[in-house]
Amino acid sequence: MPQYILALDQGTTSSRAILFDRKGRIVAQAQKEFTQFFPKPGWVEHDPQEIWSTQAGVAAEATVKAGQNGRSIAALGITNQRETVVVWNRKTGKPVYNAIVWQDRRTAAFCDQLRTEGREEGIREKTGLLLDAYFSASKVRWILDNVRGARRKAEAGQLAFGTIDSWLIWNFTQGELHITDVSNASRTMLFNIHTLQWDDELLALFDIPRSMLPEVRSSSEVYGHTKTTVFASKIPLAGIAGDQQAALFGQHCSEPGMVKSTYGTGCFLLMNTGTTPVPSRNKLLTTVAWQLNGQVHYALEGSIFMAGAVVQWVRDNLGIIKTAAEIEALARQVSGTGGVYFVPAFAGLGAPHWDPYARGTLLGMSRATTAAHIARASLEAIAFQTMDVLEAMKTDSGLPIAELRVDGGASANNLLMQFQADILHTTVIRPRILESTALGAAYLAGLAVGYWASPDDIQSTGQLGKVFKPKAGLTATTEGIDGWHRAVRAVRAWSQDG
Ligand SMILES: Nc1ncnc2c1ncn2[C@@H]1O[C@H](COP(=O)(O)OP(=O)(O)O)[C@@H](O)[C@H]1O
Ligand SMILES: O=P(O)(O)OC[C@H](O)CO
């Protein structure tokens, strides 16, 4: 059996490739950023060819860096930014338009129209998703309606649609495979998460021909092999999952009630809810986590728009720190925020509020307020937002949360992680390898080819980094939490009043 698993993590801002060994250790990695296009306010696009070329490039680079070649790779796992849409011509393999990225808001008005027509509840029941421009369906429709000749060609069966996983696999196999996995399919708003099938009513609602869709497969199986474009040998393509679901798997959250939070630009929290989908009454998403060995696991998901991005804003717009990491030392200069709260609703508020009109606000300042208080309030805001999502998860699932597993760039901040543990009264666990997303894709691929024998086998590869136990007493945190909720109410009242 070859020695390594290669995980490809195609993210929103960069393409990454990581080579893992049997102990789940990183052997080599490569990363390349690619161009972000903002053709109009609220529009975000990527060039699908650049996504493919950067991803293929880093796959080769990581392998060469390790002094290896394709023959040393037992399997390839793919994980990706989700919801982003590519439509391409089946014959030429050329995209008919740029990829429309999950962040793109151009179809918001169409989604509002569907809401007015009373479609929201039906969509939610079938897909587990909130009616929003975030998901793929309205973006595919936009391409068919706005790219000349696209609808005619789609109806003639000449066009293919895929999320980024499909696009990469199509290219790796030179058009032999047009597939996706259940976790990616569950983000399209065209997939019934109960029957695990594309849904004809939804396809009709969004006016998308069924012939465009990829075949839906499990998250861990040998789908096929790479053709000899990037590697001289054929490598099994054996794992696919959306990046947040892959991180849940990579964090070993295999049992109901286990939760991970990825503290990147925003925060994505996912809770494993077991083998039945749990509907949300608190504006969380119900989504497929993965399908493995014939069994589907579901998750509840909540996203926060501004997490690490708050720190970037403090760095770039306030200029009170030079690097993101410096915020910790600045915030440590004070023992509390001195009554300051920062609600970073720069782009509205995500889960559990979904308030697009709320705006960023600093409250409770006095003449004594310093940069250190604001730095501390910024970090606390990340933790408070996370707490609100976890509360919603607890209520929706009825499951207790024994611990929170964390990863992503901002989880490196010890002050933030300790504060998180304190306000949750829950242990926060940070693994040694923060690349949980890539690790999850590697596990899924490795399990499919017997590189790891069973899910139990991968449990032993998890490496603990740091454990944050709650230290602060209940009364100390209750006061802060009440203040936060008052601050959020004030911010929402201000925007609703306008
Ligand atoms: N030590 C730190 N403390 C707080 N935030 C940090 C720290 N280091 C990085 N960040 C934040 O983490 C984010 C980057 O994390 P990353 O997981 O790479 O995000 P993404 O995948 O969304 O690009 C940035 O927004 C940055 O401000
Ligand atoms: O590329 P990331 O890590 O920002 O993740 C994007 C998410 O998958 C969007 O739903």
Binding residues for ADP: 12, 16, 265, 308, 409, 413
Question: What DSSP string describes 131-191?
Answer: S-TTSSHHHHHHHHHHSTTHHHHHHTT-EEEE-HHHHHHHHHTTTS--EEEHHHHTTTTSE
Going by alpha carbons, the residue nearest to atom 10 of ligand 2 is 82
Q: Which ligand is nearest to the CA of 409?
A: 1
* CATH 3.30.420.40, applies to 4-234: yes
Ligand with the closest atom to the CA of 51: 2
Please give the chain's pLDDT, 498 residues, in tens.
789 999 999 998 899 999 999 999 999 999 999 998 999 888 899 999 999 999 999 999 999 999 988 889 999 999 999 999 999 999 999 999 999 999 888 999 999 999 999 999 999 999 999 999 999 999 999 999 999 999 999 999 999 999 999 999 999 999 999 999 999 999 999 999 999 999 999 999 999 999 999 999 999 999 999 997 778 889 999 999 999 999 999 999 999 999 999 999 889 999 999 999 999 999 999 999 999 999 999 999 999 988 999 999 999 999 999 999 999 999 999 999 999 999 999 888 888 998 878 889 999 999 999 999 999 999 999 999 999 999 999 999 999 999 999 999 999 999 999 999 999 999 999 998 889 999 999 999 999 999 999 888 887 776 778 999 998 777 778 889 999 999 999 999 998 877
Q: Among 311, 346, 420, 466, name the best residue to mutate to test ligand 1's pocket (greatest count of ligand atoms within 8 A of Cβ).
A: 311
How far apart (Å, rounded) are the C-alpha atoms in residues 483 and 489?
A: 10
Same CATH topology for 4-234 and 252-430+465-497: the answer is yes
Ligand located closest to 311 CA: 1
Per-state percent for the chain, helix, strand, coil, to nearest 5: 35, 25, 40
Question: CA 460, 465, 466: angle at the middle one, nearest 5?
Answer: 125
- Indicate the top mutation candidate among 268, 285, 407, 411 to test ligand 2's pocket, ranked by most ligand atoms within 8 A of CB: 268
Cα(411) to centroid of ligand 1, in Å?
A: 8
Q: How far is CA 46 from the centre of its chain?
A: 17
Tell me how far the alpha carbon of residue 268 lies from the centroid of ligand 2, in angstroms. 8
Cα distance between residue 208 and residue 202, in whole Å = 9
Nearest ligand by distance to the CA of 312: 1
Q: How far apart are CA 266 and CA 308, in angstroms?
A: 6
> Ligand 2 centroid to 11 CA: how many Å?
6
3-state secondary structure of 420: helix
Query: What region, left, alpha or beta, does residue 118 occupy, with left being phi > 0 and alpha being psi -120 to 50 degrees?
Result: left
The pTM of this model reads: 0.93
Q: What stretches of 47-157 adopt beta strand conformation (E)?
A: 73-80, 86-89, 99-100
Atom of ligand 1 nearest to the CA of 308: 25
3-class DSSP state of 482: helix
Give dist(CA 53, CA 45) in Å, integer: 16
- Binding-site residues from annotation: 12-14, 16, 82-83, 134, 243-244, 265, 308, 312, 409, 413
User: Is the N-terminal amide bond of 352 cis, ω within 30° of 0?
Assistant: yes
Q: How many CB atoms lie within 10 A of CB 157?
A: 12
- Topology (CATH level 3) of domain 252-430+465-497: Nucleotidyltransferase; domain 5 (3.30.420)
**Which residue among 33, 79, 81 is best mutated to probe the pocket of ligand 2, counting the most ligand atoms within 8 A of its Cβ?**
81
| Residues 310-315: contacts with CB under 8 Å, at least 24 apart | 310/342, 310/344, 310/378, 310/381, 310/382, 311/378, 311/379, 311/410, 312/265, 313/344, 313/346, 314/374, 314/375, 314/378
Name the binding residues for ATP. 12-14, 265, 308, 312, 409
C-alpha distance from residue 81 to each of 45, 273, 337, 408 (Å): 13, 22, 35, 14
Nearest CA to ligand 1 atom 4: 410
Domain residue ranges of the chain, discontinuous segments joined by +: 4-234, 252-430+465-497
Query: How many beta carbons lie within 10 A of that of residue 460, not counting itself?
Result: 9
Q: How far is the CA of 81 from the centre of ligand 2 (A)?
A: 4
Ligand 2 centre to CA of 440 (Å) is 15
